[in-house]
Amino acid sequence: MSGNSSNAQAYSGKIARKRNKKGTIGDTVILVVLSIVSILSLGPIWHTFALSFSSSVASNAGRVGMWPVDFNMNSYNLVIGDKEFFLAFWVSIKRVLLGGIVNFALTILVAFPLSRTTKEFKLRNLFMWFLVFTMLFKSSLIPLYLTVQNLGMLNSIWSLVLPVAVPVFNVILLMNFFRSIPKELDQAAEIDGAGPWYLMLGIYVPLAVPALATVTLFSLVTHWNSFLDGLVFMSKTENYPLQTYIQQLVVQVDLSKVTGEEAAKLSQISNKTLNAAKIIVSMIPIVAVYPFIQRFFIHGIMIGSVKE
């Protein structure tokens, strides 16, 4: 009897070792594949970085790979060497801060009532269809421009913020997160005498930190990367946000009108190197902010993993 028991233990131990070995091999394969994907994803960014420090001759000839050729910083000097760059940078900072706050507040105020049932909010379906309609059928540029003009917001920071004040996609994401929160919390809060405002601000918002971090990052990236609205609504260059200023920079540079040492520096610049420098400069703020919000995405992975 003891012999059968020892044989069973040995057999089970053998199976466990095989499973551990298979698990180790599987983990190794996954790590290798993810490492390759990461390298391939970072490759274009690193190539752009190398291109921004290369000469115009090398970039136009296609000789730039993963390392700069004829290293120089003339493209960056051209981008950040004048005061208009810093004015545009400040406009974008104001836009991101103001737009982020407006998006954050309105997204919560719209998503929370839409997460209620039709018994709690009878007009929920009507407002929901209204939001979905705006996603499917967006207004064209001319009516939007006329609306902004009639409201007196041209050449104002509000023309960059209010037209996108309610991001419908973010509202739907946050609404679905609110709906995944157990209803028992509502019942407990109602028993304690909590009203809708306390329920939203005291219970739902603190529980929705991962979702709020996600939609906030979406809003910040959208405001930072937008350039067309600045080009349409701003007639003065000092009111341009950074992306609009950078987009117009190539048009404003005329090498034929520059002589002397400055011409020698500008001769090292091409549209490729200048565009590469623009890409690198414009992505720095988002790259700096993203690591601080990334940890909330990890918590967000658990959304919906626990069923009621």
- Do 121 and 160 reside in the same domain of the chain? yes
| pLDDT confidence of residue 264 | 59
Count of other CB atoms within 10 angstroms of residue 89: 18
- Do 115 and 172 reside in the same domain of the chain? yes
Q: Is residue 68 part of a domain?
A: no
| pLDDT confidence of residue 308 | 42
Q: Is residue 62 part of a domain?
A: no
Q: Is residue 123 part of a domain?
A: yes
Question: Rounded distance, CA 46 to CA 40, Å?
Answer: 10
- Do 205 and 238 reside in the same domain of the chain? yes
- The DSSP code for 157 is T
Q: With a threshold of 0.85, does the pTM exceed it?
A: no
Which CATH number belongs to the domain containing residue 251 in this structure? Answer: 1.10.3720.10
| pLDDT confidence of residue 81 | 74
- Do 9 and 138 reside in the same domain of the chain? no
HSE value, Cβ hemisphere, 13 Å, CA-based, for 147: 11
Q: Is residue 203 part of a domain?
A: yes
Backbone angles phi, psi at 184, to 5 degrees: -60, -30
Among 233, 294, 281, which Cα is nearest to 86's?
281
User: Maximum CA pair distance of the chain?
Assistant: 99
User: Is the CB of residue 234 less than 8 Å from the CB of residue 240?
Assistant: yes
Q: Is residue 187 part of a domain?
A: yes
- Do 42 and 90 reside in the same domain of the chain? no
- Do 175 and 35 reside in the same domain of the chain? no
User: Is the CB of residue 60 less than 8 Å from the CB of residue 276?
Assistant: no
- Do 148 and 286 reside in the same domain of the chain? yes
Q: Is residue 69 part of a domain?
A: no
Residue span of the structural domain in which 46 resides: 2-52
CA dihedral 54, 56, 62, 63 (to 10 degrees): -40
- Do 22 and 104 reside in the same domain of the chain? no
Q: What is the pLDDT of residues 244-277, one digit of tens each?
A: 888 776 544 555 555 555 555 666 667 778 778 8
- Do 114 and 191 reside in the same domain of the chain? yes
Question: Rounded distance, CA 234 to CA 247, Å?
Answer: 14
Q: Is residue 64 part of a domain?
A: no
The number of domains in the chain is 2
Q: Is residue 92 part of a domain?
A: yes
- Do 48 and 155 reside in the same domain of the chain? no
Give the pLDDT of the chain (308 residues) as one tens digit per residue: 455 555 555 545 555 565 566 667 777 888 899 889 888 888 888 888 888 888 877 887 778 888 888 888 888 887 777 788 888 889 999 999 999 999 999 999 999 999 888 888 888 889 888 888 888 887 788 888 898 899 988 999 999 999 989 988 889 888 888 888 888 888 888 887 778 888 888 888 888 888 888 888 888 888 988 888 888 898 888 889 988 888 776 544 555 555 555 555 666 667 778 778 888 888 888 888 777 776 666 555 445 434 44
**Would you tell me the crossing angle of helices 83-114 and 124-136 to the nearest 10 degrees?**
140
| pLDDT confidence of residue 21 | 60
- Do 83 and 153 reside in the same domain of the chain? yes
> Burial level of 53, CB count in 10 A (0-12/13-18/19+)?
buried
Q: Which long-range contacts (CB under 8 A, 24 or more apart) does 11-19 make?
A: none
| pLDDT confidence of residue 99 | 93
- Do 140 and 6 reside in the same domain of the chain? no
Amino acid at 249: L
